[in-house]
Structure 1
Amino acid sequence: MYALARCKTEGRRKQHHEGVCNVSSYWDRERLLRSTILAGFAAAGLTVAPSFAQQADEDDEDEEQAEQSGDNIVVTGSRIRRDSFSSTSPLQVIDAETVTEAGLVDTAEIIRSVPVIQGAQLDATINNSFVTNGGPGVNNVSLRGLSADRTLILINGRRMSPAGVEGAPSFPDLNLIPSSIIQRVDILLDGASSVYGSDAVAGVVNVITQQDYEGLNIEGYVSIPEEGGGENQRYSILVGDRSERGGFTFAMEYYDQQNLRILDRDYNRSPSGFYCSQDIDLDASGNQITSAATRPNTCGGSIINRVRVYSFLARPGGGLLLGTDVYRTPGRDGVALNNVAAGGDARSPGDWFVAWAGAGSTAAQNATARTYMSNLPENQSYVANQFTDMLPANTRYNMFFTGDYDIDSLFGLEGTSFFFEASHSNSQTFNDSNYHGQLFPTVPDTNPTNPFTYNNGASFFGYGVVPIIASPVQRSDVDVEIQQTRLLTGLRGDLGFIGAPGWDFEAFASYTRSMGYSSRGAVLEERLRLSLGTTRFDGGGNLVCGDQAYQDLFGFLDPENCVPVNMFAPSLYIYNPETGPQWGTTAERDFLTGERTVTTKVDELVAGAFVTGPLFNLPDGEVSGVFGWEFREIGLDSGVDTIARLGLAAGFFADQLSVGSVNLNEAYAELSFPLLRGRTFAEDLTFDVAARLTDHEFYGQNSTWAAKLSWSPVDYLTFRGTAGTSFRAPNVRELFLGGQTGFTGGGADPCVVPFAATQSGNYVRTDDPRSDTVLNNCIADGVDPTTLGQNGVPSIQSFRAGNPGLDPETSDSISVGFAIDQPWFDAFDFQFGVNYYEINIEDSIAIPGTAFSLNRCYNSTNYPNDPFCARRQRDPNTGFLSFVDNTPFNIAQQTSQGVDYNARFGMDIWGGTRLEASTVWTQSLEITNQTTPGSAVNDFVGTIGFPEWRGTTDARIIAGDWTFFWRGRYIGEQNNLGIFGAAEPACEFGATCVDVLDDVDSVLYHDVSVNWRSDTWRVTVGVNNALNEDPPLVDQNTADATLSGTNVPLGAGYDLIGRRFFVNVAKRF
């Protein structure tokens, strides 16, 4: 598809199509008018496309025709109809032609291709690895580093509804927009609450779809990586027709993304040969220490395949183990822990377990104790990690239908048409985490399956032991299906039939239903507890379990179902990396394994109407206005099954139902004043104002406003500025989330002693990177920060729920800029624009991450009175953190500040061949938050996910039917050194290490393609990431870096797949 950036319409019936233009010829390479380019650059916008006019006389002719026809268009950022594609707001535009040349077919990736997308993006890599707003399987986008909560997504100028699963999704899922229907994407870069309502704080993404299309187009796209994994394909049909009275456009699309596993890419391979998240240490020259001899095992992972014993016995051979936790790996030599001699089998003569071998233990049990995991290390979780998906498999089916029909002859409403849109989308995602998690239940000494202590006399000296194994159930594997059906209809036309010539109206109503389904495997906790706590021998020497004390005399209650479970079965310790451990018997598997399911429904009803037209005349033009009303209601019903609701799955707390609804009414107005036109030093001076009054069900009445000024002293130079306010009430997630759990590695606890500080066998303060403030606060918390976690640390449970006590956010923003379109040389075109922006949010709603909250608490000089310290709980028995509250709350403020730079160049070079180039850059000057007034201000610019500089440059040579395209994508350097008081990662591997890798260099990706077309065919062949640039890596302990089984920062825009070849073929009939 090739988008038009200006309208060439015929007849009055097309003038009301908001934001879109008639595609009169599918294969035409339409260009923006020179006035359009100037206005766009004055708004610091960039049409990220070859939008130069090839011939100035053609532009002038088209512009003249548009003026003569009297047709007006609507540009994102205003509902006022104008006579050219111009905007007083900062606007960037992506058109479908460039999307095709760049080899992009995923809507989320299309939108993220511009550098104004800043901050860690909630893409497939993050949403499938962490507990997030939309849940697994969705794709969101964030402008200006202010999160997806503050970016409004529109389709043809109307709000797109939230979709997702688990918890309370409040963001739209970009997977549900078929890319084959996109004509262009407008990105509005100032606060637009006064025009579009809540959520438009950082800006607006408006997806404009193909309309008025005539013909049939069949298109296919395939992308094949040079290395295996990550293949994707898309096939689509676009069909449309028009008559004198109306027309329709219909698109249907199939998209398939294959998964990409950690082992599919060598940049995940550690020096020890495993594919894992690892420690990356640097020597004195700044080079990575890669010697396997120096770094025998650099992988991180969980402790598994070991036994934890707690005893009050005297150890055979001397010495006391009074209250000592001992971790042993039976059948292996290993590192001595807690003064227990290494080596030996668990039941061999002379080993410390031998004194507990009772006469009742069997030879089979002895053999089990000696041989389980006899030939594998005690830490094998990283072996399974290599099969984890970095990118999950995703399949989508999308349909989109739009049309209109003139009804003036039917009802006597002259110039009135009926319009409608309908869409249905289905997105299916399976994320194979291969993460089994730990199971470490206590097996009591009275349980006959316990080979260490059972039947030791009267079990007087016995005590339960804790086998630490990998769960046979991969609890983080998730199967997701998300569906969305959207229906919209309305009337639009002119009001001449009521005696208001020149005035137009539009009234519409839409209804959207989104359904999400997810399922995860689960170990049924209550059944495991029942079995381990009641297993015994019956009178015939058979293992039985269950509570036999209760007898139902009349058989009214079904017999209790219980299966004896042997936590020392060899199959639980023979670790197949692809399948994981297995229960000892099929009966055990069926008894203990269940499914944890969630069904999420989101309904949204929107209705509105507005009128627009001329109000009165000024000396140099007509003052136009828009007056409108909108009603919106959104309802949420996210239900969990019994396993999830009652917390019956091992490793999960109970998740609660998320139910609620909210509605609001809004009235709005816009005015545009053409103050001066065609005057000396005032070729154009336009002043626009907008205001909106919001009546929220829970937060009452609030108002927002915007003022915009555009001044062109001459036709090639424009200055512009905007100022305004925004309002965002808490969304359905922030209000109604019933309760959702997640997990963070125990190493996020600042009180856990770093390995580097104890690698010599004793704690060494100079090797501990933590500050004295942290250590003192940990001591004040009742734990010893020099020993805590030496023998392993459990995961930290996190919890978040809605908070009806939240206050709404308010914000103000400004932007100023200029653009110049050189008029002096006919040999080439050149435009340059600069835009400065600043956004300040008060009472910002924040959902802190676990690691961030803990770092803020233990680095605080106001401990324990820092607000973040009230959000965590520590187990008084173990000393480990057991709970962190991540419920949203209002913080003092959040800001974003920066500069956009845009430049465009074009010239004819020889024989009809043309060179075109465009570049757009964003420099982030400030992205901050402040928890309370007077507290420290945290600036994220330069940290991972928030580079100071991002840029995209496109160049193309057009020679007849051939186009040669190049794109460069730049992401600036970043680091998390000591971010917000967090300790820097410490060296893990000896004296040769002087630093760890916790910063990343800048990255430049190259994409190239060749495009050929005829009247009915178009073929594009290209290469993405042509130089096969690997993504940067950071040490696995880097503070606040979003990592999951790999050392690549996720959501930061880095290419995980590598070099890949694509072909796109389209045939038009």
Structure 2
Amino acid sequence: MTLSRLACATALASSIVLLPSYAAAQVAPTKPDAEQVTPATIDDEGKQTSAQGGEKPDSNGDILVTGSRIRRNQFNTADPVNIVSFDQAAQAGFTSTAQVLQSAAISNGTAQINNSYGGFVTAGGPGANTLSLRGFGTSRSLVLLNGRRLAPSGSRGSVGSADLNVLPNIMVDRIEILNGGASSIYGSDAIAGVVNVITRSNFKGLLADAQINMPGIGTGKTERYGLLFGTQGERFRFTGSFEYSNRQAVAQSDVNFTRCQTSYRKADANSAPGTGDFIDPLTGQPKCYPTGVTGEGGVTINTIGTPNFNGLLVDRAPGVPAGYGALPTSAGYGAASAQVCNRFRPDSTAAGAVAGFECVGGGALPLGIRDTYPNSLLANEIVNPGQQYTGFLQGSYELNALGNAEIYAELLVSRRKSEQNGNRQLSFDYPFGSPLIPANLRFATPALAAQPTNPGVPVGIRVFADYGIYNNRQKVDFVRALGGIRGEIGGGFHYDASVLRSWSDADYTSDLVLTDKLNQSLDVVASGTGFVCRNTANGCVAAPALTPAVVGGQFPASWIGFIAEPVTGKTSFRETIVSAVVDGPLFNIWGGPVQIAIGAEYRKQDLNDTPSLESQRGNVYNFTSSTITKGSDNVKEVFGEIEVPILRNRPFFEDLTLKASARYTDYASYGSQTTYKVGGIYSPVRWLSARGSYGTSYRAPGLFEQYLGATSGFLAASGDPCNNLGAAGQNPVRVKNCQSEGLATGFVQTNSITSLQRGGADSGLKSEDSVAWTAGGVFQPSFGDWGKLSLSADYFNIKVNGGVSQLGTGTILQQCYDDPDFRAESICALVVRNPANQALTVTTGFVNIATSRVTGWDFNARYSVRRGETSFDIGGQVTRFGQRYTQLLPTDPIENNIGTLNNPRWSGVFDGGFGVDKFSFRYSVEWVGGTYSSADYIGLTEAARATYVFEAKDYFIHSTSVRWRLSDKYQFTFGVRNLLEQKLPQISSGAYNRIGNVPLYSAYDYVGRTFFANVRAGF
């Protein structure tokens, strides 16, 4: 068994032009420029325009580097830290900090949640953009803003990660990325790495910025407008920005590859994909948007469910020619003798068991002969629309007292308005004996003994119709306020104390059908020539009489207006952080001063998600119901760090420095824990360094993982592992296990799967810990006028013990029913099958899994040269993953998912450019390596291997741009992303979520070639 089959979509959003700064790069002190009006940048040497957090360097030019609280005048660190210039990101065509972060090398090729996941359940709710480093998930990736935590925000109960949408854009100077664990420095969550977004502090004047990205398909435009302003005085600094961005939707109808999703099967090992697909009798082509397994987006429509009938597959009056859906027996669906049939489609020419309706399935008959492709399905969005308003202010004032103290403050205010449109089915039941059922459909026995949403009422006819489009929408307000004081206490020591408070408030609304109103409308009595509700309360509108038009999705507007209404929930998240730190030199040794930093921190979080009353009552029809998620936690921590320069500026010892850090953590919920880290760097000469570190990290489960309110939902009946029991290619172990429960060959599940979710606080959920170590080296010689070369290679190995994860319903079912020791494993205790109607109920929640691990190598290279007004640089960052696996139980075998679909072994970002005078040109390539081994990973049988396609070739996104600096105050950038528009890979349905036939994976650009323009003007 393997938990890694939970497999969320894996992602690399778009790419970024990186100017990495390696371990031995020197950092120049800031030189304030009162006339500066153009964006600050980082050149190839890693020179910076401000210190971390907007803090001015001290008189020695010392700064703070991400991953340490000790000031230094060099960028030397035991761990690799890369720098991303946001100014260069704009030249690469990105419109937001979220895109930049999701495209950095450390997140390249791993799971990211972006704007293509609106139709899926994700942490932070629809519309949130999150960051997962090394594929370890959002909860193990720490995001900082100016060296301090960015609080979680979003909607619904699973808010636990920073939403990258709240970050400013034009205000960002650079992003520092620490490629390793750092809980001893930053506390919980810093397991896979730390990202520090650093804003500009030395800016004076006014800068206007506008960018428009327009896809070649003619829709999906993104536009962003920003204003940056700042002023300085002898004792004060003040900078701020305001931005607005708007992203248009891209629907499935807007791109070619989503207009006809197929199963994408091969007839045999030697045939082409698609030759083994079900052939639609209407078109003679592979069926568009089938349904039945994972990755098939169709939904049964234009169909009724009836009691079982034994009759010919084609029930027609003699002499009437076969029409759409009438399949000859030669098609392989059984002899023309008796077939069990319980699904019918309106057809006035049909006779037989159900006059006016033709058989379209039931029993062992395939789902493909049903209608599964509503026109409204193409309105589903592959990129969700949204608007973002962001304001950021920061300032400082020197007191000339309290040790040359400076008081400082920051304020971040953000509003996100996002929405998602999606197609849905309206499946509802006419009660047995209802006068709304016409005479030819009033059978002697019910179709089902009882309705799951109307207990005790037997079903006369079940209708499967196309409801059309429903809308989800969110409004998320986020406020982050920081205030503090920093100064000197003598002897080279500094102090810094601050209070940080964050607020997130969200409203989330969905237009849904209410179960009680639907049931009320279906309970009718005759009135004149029509019908009225038996209970006329609330302005009840009687359901329409059952007709072919109703089965076809043509509903009276007055009825839909009665049974459906907007339901709104509210989510709030609060975080308070009080911290203080003191740092400075203790004494001098051979290599210089031994420096320390010690501090304390108190952090408190509160989460309160209150779903709509209808959701709490379980009154949203065929949608998730949930209760209140409410909880709080707090932690007290003390920490310390020491850096010991053993030798410097000696023969063969240009630098030998050791460092160590430790943190004591005491959570109110999970008790205490100690983490530590040791590391060092050795440079025999200035241009060559070796570095490494070893450390432990700690993560307490998030509030939503602890206190998630009881949530129920429904999954399609086709997700039952025993559905269509005995069909070709099924796992024989699964067939045997299903038969042991009394299910016969040909069993078809007719009931949705009920999924019950819960938080882990009441079921023994514990904290998780990890061990990480890195080792690598840096080679960066200077060739004088011929430029500089930087090369680095770093090995990483991160292992999480007792990791917290949520078991997916599909994973539980798969692992239970595919286990030779069926019902002997504890995971099967989460699965209950009702012996009366064979309906499945699965209970899932947050648990501690045994082990997760990731290993690999990061490679970085850059060559740059500058002569007068001409410059040239070329480089890239490549990651080679070795292992990534997750064990559910300690006894489970290790199954490495690296090399499987959506988990490439290789990925990288390459870029190069040159500038002459006022013009510069850049070209970049984003690479996601091919994957070829998914068949073994998902356990395909030999027969299935011949027909399924679960592999992808190398994928590249080429982008280019030209920048023209008209003057010191005006700058124009024009470019194209995805210039060559490589064809997207296609895979079979059955194991992975798909958009069209393409894997749901944010490394792939679904929109295609995009033209962009950026204009900046200073005043």
Indicate the TM-score class for this superposition, using the shorter chain for normalisation. Answer: 0.7 to 0.9
1:98 is displaced (CA, Å) by 1.7
Change over 3 Å in CA distance of 1:455–1:787 after alignment to 2: closer
Conserved? CA contact 2:116–2:383, under 8 Å: no
Aligned-pair CA distance for 1:501: 2.8
Q: Deviations over 1:133-183 (max 9, x none)?
A: 211010001001111110001000000011111113001100111221111
Query: Which moves more between the two structures, 95-104 or 821-830?
Result: 821-830
Q: Is the 8 A contact 2:510 2:566 kept in 1?
A: yes
Cα deviations by residue, 1:755-786 (Å, 9 ceiling, x for unpaired): xx75xxxxxxxxx32332222222223323x4
CA contact (8 A) 1:893 1:929 kept: yes
Q: How far apart, CA to CA, are the structure 2 residues paired with 1:1047 and 1:221? A: 32
Q: Distance in 1 between matches of 2:239 and 2:425?
A: 49
Q: 1:563 to 1:100 in 2, by over 3 A?
A: closer
Which residues in structure 2 correspond to 1:748-763 (within 5 Å)?
Answer: 748-753=719-724
Asked if 1:233 corresponds to 2:223, the answer is: yes
Residue equivalent to 1:251? 241
Deviation at 1:295, TM superposition (A): 3.6
Question: For the structure 1 residues 122 and 740, does the alpha-carbon distance in structure 2 shift closer, same or farther, using more than 3 Å as the test?
Answer: farther
Matches within 5 A, 1:98-497: 98-117=88-107, 121-125=111-115, 127-269=117-259, 275-276=260-261, 278-281=263-266, 285=270, 287-289=272-274, 295-300=285-290, 301-310=298-307, 333=326, 338=339, 351-353=352-354, 378-408=370-400, 412-433=401-422, 435-454=423-442, 464-470=459-465, 472=467, 474=469, 477-495=471-489
Q: Is the 8 A contact 1:473 1:521 kept in 2?
A: no
User: Which secondary structure does the structure 2 equivalent of 1:887 belong to?
Assistant: strand
Give the CA deviation at 1:457: 14
Correspondence 1:780-791 to 2 at 5 A: 780-784=740-744, 786-789=745-748
Alignment deviations for residues 319-365 of structure 1 (CA, whole Å, 9 cap, x no partner)? 9xxxxxxxxx99974678835699997787963346xxxxxxxxxxx
Two-structure CA RMSD over aligned residues (Å): 3.6
Per the normalisation by structure 2, the TM-score is 0.87
Change in CA separation of 1:827 and 1:560 when aligned onto 2, cut-off 3 Å: closer
Name 1:862's counterpart in structure 2: 821
Give yes or no for the alignment of 1:969 onto 2:954.
Answer: no
Kindly report which structure 2 residues correspond to 1:56-75, keeping only aligned pairs within 5 A, or say none. 69-75=59-65
The residue type equivalent to 1:485 in the other structure is V
Give the counterpart letter for 1:1035 in structure 2. S
CA distance in 2, matches of 1:1061, 1:585: 42
Distance 1:187 1:254 in 2: 26
Any conservation in 1 of the 2:586–2:594 contact (CA below 8 Å)? yes
In 2 relative to 1, CA 155–224 (structure 1 residues): closer, same or farther, beyond 3 Å? same
Q: CA deviation at 1:88?
A: 2.1
Alignment-mate amino acid for residue 445 of structure 1: G
SS of the aligned residue for 2:756 comes to strand
Change (3 A) 1:217 1:286: farther
Alignment of 1:564 onto 2:517:
no
Answering whether residue 669 of structure 2 is matched by residue 698 of structure 1, we say yes
* C-alpha distance 986-254 of structure 1, shift in aligned 2 (>3 A): farther
Farther off after superposition, 247-256 or 79-88: 79-88
Equivalent residue for 1:773? 733
Question: C-alpha offsets along residues 87-125 of structure 1, whole Å, 9 cap, x if unaligned?
Answer: 222212111122021111122210122232156534234
Q: Quick one: which of 1027, 1042, 1065 aligns to 2:993?
A: 1042
- In the aligned structure 2, how far is the partner of 1:3 from the partner of 1:79? 24
Q: Which stretch of the first structure deviates more once superposed, 415-424 or 796-805?
A: 796-805
Partner-residue secondary structure (3-state), 2:160? coil
Match of 2:1007 in 1: 1057
Q: Cα offset for 1:797?
A: 3.4
Distance in 2 (CA, whole Å) between partners of 1:887 and 1:985 is: 34
Please give the alpha-carbon distance, in whole angstroms, between the structure 2 residues aligned to 1:872 and 1:845.
Answer: 21
Q: Which residue of 2 aligns with 1:16?
A: none
- Residue 892 of structure 2 is aligned to residue 935 of structure 1: yes
Structure 2 CA distance for aligned equivalents of residues 67 and 454 of structure 1: 84
Aligned residue runs from structure 1 range 457-856, under 5 A: 464-470=459-465, 472=467, 474=469, 477-495=471-489, 500-532=490-522, 534-537=523-526, 542-546=530-534, 562-566=540-544, 568-574=546-552, 581-586=553-558, 588-753=559-724, 768-784=728-744, 786-789=745-748, 794-804=751-761, 805-823=764-782, 827-856=786-815
Distance 1:836 1:137 in 2: 34
| Residue type at the aligned position of 1:309 | T
SS of the counterpart of 2:519? helix
Q: Structure 1 residue 8: deviation in Å?
A: 5.8
Q: Which amino acid is 1:478 matched to?
A: N
Distance 1:110 1:346, change over 3 A: closer
Aligned counterpart, 1:890: 848
Whether contact under 8 Å (2:351, 2:357) holds in the other structure is: no
Distance 1:341 1:598 in 2: 39
Q: Is the 8 A contact 1:276 1:386 kept in 2?
A: no
Structure 1: 5+ residue stretches without partners:
12-20, 38-50, 54-65, 270-274, 320-328, 355-365, 370-375, 548-557, 575-580, 759-767, 988-992
CA apart distance, 1:523: 1.3
Deviation at 1:407, TM superposition (A): 1.6
SS at match of 1:385: helix
Unaligned runs of 5+ in 2: 1-16, 50-55, 291-297, 316-321, 329-335, 360-367, 450-456
SS at match of 2:243: strand
What is the Cα deviation at residue 861 of structure 1?
Answer: 2.7
What CA distance in whole angstroms lies between the structure 1 residues aligned with 2:885 and 2:20? Answer: 38
* Cα pair distance change 1:247/1:907, threshold 3 Å: closer
Q: Is the 8 A contact 2:443 2:460 kept in 1?
A: no
CA 1:922–1:795: 2 relative to 1, 3 Å: farther
Deviates more, 1:291-300 or 1:666-675: 291-300
Secondary structure at 1:777 match in 2: helix
Question: Counterpart of 1:922 in 2: which secondary structure?
Answer: strand
Secondary structure of 1:1029's counterpart equals coil
Q: 1:911-990 alignment to 2 at 5 Å?
A: 912-975=869-932, 977-978=934-935, 980-983=937-940
Matched, 1:902 2:899: no
Q: Per the alignment, do residues 330 and 599 of structure 1 end up closer, same or farther by CA in structure 2, a change over 3 Å counting?
A: farther
1:1066–1:30 CA distance, 2 compared to 1 (3 A): closer
The alignment partner of 1:396 has SS state of strand
Q: 1:981, CA displacement in angstroms? A: 4.7
Distance (Å, rounded) in 1 between the aligned partners of 2:81 and 2:44: 16
User: What secondary structure sits across from 2:225 in the alignment?
Assistant: strand
* Residue type of the alignment partner of 1:1066: R
Partners in 2 of 1:345 and 1:505 — Cα distance? 78
Q: Aligned partners of 1:656 and 1:417: how far apart in 2?
A: 47
1:856/1:981 contact within 8 Å kept:
no
1:1029 deviates by 1.7
Residue 616 of structure 1 deviates from its aligned partner by 1.2
Question: 2:899 is paired with a residue of what secondary structure?
Answer: coil
For 2:958 and 2:247, the matched residues in 1 are separated by 22
**Counterpart residue identity of residue 1019, structure 1:** F
3-state DSSP of counterpart to 2:481: strand
Partners of 1:482 and 1:517 within 8 A in 2:
yes
Residues 1:208 and 1:24: Cα distance change in structure 2 (over 3 Å): farther
**Counterpart in the other structure of 1:762:** none
Higher radius of gyration, 1 or 2:
1
CA distance 1:28–1:318, change in 2 (3 Å): closer
- How far did residue 986 of structure 1 move? 7.4
Q: Calculate percent identity across the aligned residue pairs.
A: 27
Residue 573 of structure 1: how far off its partner (Å):
3.6
- Identify if the C-alpha distance between structure 1 residues 948 and 561 changes in structure 2 by more than 3 Å, giving closer, same or farther: same
Any idea what the Cα deviations from partners look like across 1:213-263, whole Å, max 9, x if unmatched? 111000110111111232111110000011001111111011111111112
